[in-house]
Amino acid sequence: MNIVAVNGINLAYARHGKGTPLMLVHGFPLDSSSWNEIIPFLKDEFDIIIPDLRGFGQSTTIESPYTILDMADDLAGLLDHLGIDKIAIAGHSMGGYVALAFAKKYPQRMLGLGLISSQAAADAPEGKERRYKTAADVAENGVAVVADAMSPKLSADARVQKFVCGVIEQQSKSAVIGALKAMAAREDMMAFIAQLTLPFILIHGDADQLIPIDRAKEIKAALPSAKLLELNGAGHMPMMEFPKETAAGVRALLG
Ligand code: MLT
């Protein structure tokens, strides 16, 4: 991983391949390793930038509160450092929230937007409440609380579950708490989505237990020009469960 200083943190990122700039943004509470299995399917066509969002993986953090928009600003700082003006961004789940915030603030930098197992609506009040309770639970009992609760819901595939559980256990309490609070406070992006004109693809598993595929269908209904790739049998981790098909979806974004 490479490290760059942006916005008062050290942001870690990996870079693979050659071609059109493409950023892959991981979900909660994971890190850049989420994308390991998709890289071989994309590296011949894309200059792939894969950050660890603030606090996760090898990136450092500052104490919360910070926002999803702060995370998007970190990515803008990374692109400035790399001298990349325009890029396609595909975000997985929480990474999709960050990608949406980036697209809203920096529309002139976007070549295309992909949401993988993500959504555009904000949390309902009870969802926000659940996140604050989980944050308090993590503060008291550590990240194992989240690893145990989330791993079985991320995928039905035992290999994927084991991998993600190991990744979650490596994350710091402060990153997990900071991201939970940032997600709870995130802006509703449905109105923003409805007026998008840039290339846009939704990639979603029909067996996603964390964010149901109906969330992607709602976005497609609000913006009929969006492409929707439904992955039969995929859970919340399609880039690991169906890397080849997920890569084809990412490629279709700009195709
Ligand atoms: C994720 O996978 O990033 C999270 O499940 C997203 C969320 O909790 O909203």
**DSSP sequence for 159-188:** HHHHHHHHHHHHS-HHHHHHHHHHHHTPPP
- The closest alpha carbon to 28, from 161, 195, 183, belongs to 183
Name the residue of 32, 181, 210, 237 to mutate for ligand 1: max ligand atoms within 8 A of Cβ. Answer: 210
Q: Which domains does the chain have, with CATH numbers?
A: 2-120+188-254 (3.40.50.1820)
Report whether residue 93 contacts ligand 1, using a CB cutoff of 6 Å: yes
Nearest CA, atom 9, ligand 1: 94
Q: What is the pLDDT of residue 1?
A: 95
Contact (Cβ atoms closer than 8 angstroms) between residue 155 and residue 168: no
Reported as a single tens digit per residue, the pLDDT across 121-169 is 999 999 999 999 999 999 999 999 999 999 999 999 999 999 999 999 9
pLDDT per residue over 65-91, tens digit each? Answer: 999 999 999 999 999 999 999 999 999
pLDDT at 144: 95
Task: Say which residues have a Cβ less than 8 Å from residue 129's Cβ, sequence separation at least 6.
Answer: none
User: Is 93 in contact with 240 (CB distance < 8 Å)?
Assistant: no
Helix/strand/coil for 143: coil
pLDDT of residue 62: 85
Q: Ligand 1 within 6 A of 67 CB?
A: no
**pLDDT on residue 60:** 94
What's the pLDDT at 117?
98
Spans in the chain with pLDDT lower than 50: none
Instruction: Tell me what percent of the residues of the chain surpass a pLDDT of 70.
Output: 100
Q: Which residue's structure tokens are 């790739």?
A: 229
Supply the pLDDT for residue 139: 96
Distance 83 CA to ligand 1 centre (A): 30
Residue 175 pLDDT: 96
Ligand 1 geometric centre to CA of 236 (Å): 9
Q: Two tokens at 227?
A: 């492409």
- What is the atom index within ligand 1 of the atom nearest the CA of 28? 3
Q: How far is the CA of 120 from the centre of ligand 1 (A)?
A: 12
Q: CB of 91 closer than 6 A to ligand 1?
A: no
Say how many Å lie between the CA of residue 1 and the centre of ligand 1: 24
pLDDT reported for residue 254? 87
- Cβ of residue 94 lying under 6 Å from some atom of ligand 1: yes
Q: Is the CB of 238 under 6 A from ligand 1?
A: no
- Quick one: which atom of ligand 1 is closest to the CA of 210? 5
The predicted pLDDT at position 255 comes to 76
| C-beta of 28 in contact with ligand 1 (< 6 A) | yes
Q: Atom of ligand 1 at shortest distance to CA of 119? A: 9
